[in-house]
Amino acid sequence: MKTLFSLFSIIVFSITALGQNKLCCKASANNQFAALSGDQEFVASHTFNEELPVVKSGTNIKMKVPGEAPANGYLIPANELTNKYIFVFQEWWGLNDHIKAQSEKYWAKMKGQVNVIAVDLYDGETATTADLAGELMKSREEKRLRAIVDAAFLYAGKDAEVATVGWCFGGGWSLQAAIRGKEKVKACVMYYGMPETDPSKLAKINAPVLGLFAEHDGWITKELVDKFEDRMRGLEKDITIVWYDAVHAFANPSNNEYNPMLAADAFVRSSYFIRKNLLD
């Protein structure tokens, strides 16, 4: 009987400890977003229009990752030598021609005064179905993702001044890049990406942040964004949040829920924000 009681006590203690670990070990912002790949409603909300834009300005590059395979990027160089960069972060589809076209659009809006690097977070893989996009997003190791972001900063050089912009999965990584880049980052734009709420990470941000979010987003909710905004303001960080009467991924031309009018407004806001903080 004593043995049975001892065994029962061990089982109860183990279960309790596991529960406590779940509570204390909060998932990172990236892992929280990656977990949405298991939400069938989230997956079904993403559609892909296979009509690809024409891209012509950039070239594919390799970026050194110490001790690992190199990272990939799509570089559109400035018209003249400069230390100004925009890092563009992909949606969950990967670094496809839609993202390359968006990169060219930002480059043109800056009148070729900046280098633009579209950062490949999937190591060359892309998806044209939501199920595959979800699998790719879920399969990425956060350590590798951080190394890829660091590789972009290494490629740009120690004196680089950087603006970051991204959508959805890349919106979250635009913010994470601002955290990792610290004083190098002069502006951060995130389109409906997962907010970071860890004060120790947010404290590392030196750049003003522009968040563009959708009022009818069932996943990146107002509650999440408000918590992020409150934490940023509590740390006396410069943050601007803009809400659109739209759904998640409203600014992606490859999505059937694309809203061209609101996407155009968001692009004007974001490009003005980048120019003001990076170039002016």
The pLDDT of residue 52 is 63
Residue 4 lies in a domain: no
Query: CA-to-CA distance for 174 and 29, rounded, in angstroms?
Result: 12
Residue 20 lies in a domain: no
SS (H, E, C) 183-203: HHEEEEEEECCCCCCCHHHHC
- Taking residues 176-201, report their average pLDDT: 97
The pLDDT of residue 40 is 85
Residue 11 lies in a domain: no
pTM summary value: 0.89
Residue 2 lies in a domain: no
> What average pLDDT does the structure give for the chain?
90
In 3D space, the residue among 57, 75, 121, 88 whose CA is nearest the CA of residue 271 turns out to be 88
Residue 16 lies in a domain: no
Q: CA dist 87 to 61, 175, 271, Å?
A: 13, 11, 13
Domain range for 181: 27-279
Residue 7 lies in a domain: no
**Residue located via tokens 């993702």:** 145
The token duo for 104 is 């060219």
Residue 10 lies in a domain: no
How many residues are present in the chain?
280
Residue 97: partners with Cβ closer than 8 Å, 6 or more residues away: 52, 53, 54, 55
Number of domains in the chain: 1
The 10s digit of each residue's pLDDT in 111-167 is 999 999 999 999 999 999 999 999 999 999 999 999 999 999 999 999 999 999 999
Phi-psi region of 3 (alpha: psi -120 to 50; beta: other; left: phi over 0): alpha
Look up the CATH number of the domain holding residue 188: 3.40.50.1820
Determine what percent of the chain falls in helix, strand and coil, rounding each to the nearest 5. 45, 20, 35
The pLDDT of residue 180 is 98
Q: Give me the sign of the Cα torsion angle 243, 180, 164, 82.
A: positive
The 10s digit of each residue's pLDDT in 74-120 is 999 999 999 999 999 999 999 999 999 999 999 999 999 999 999 99
Residue 159 lies in a domain: yes
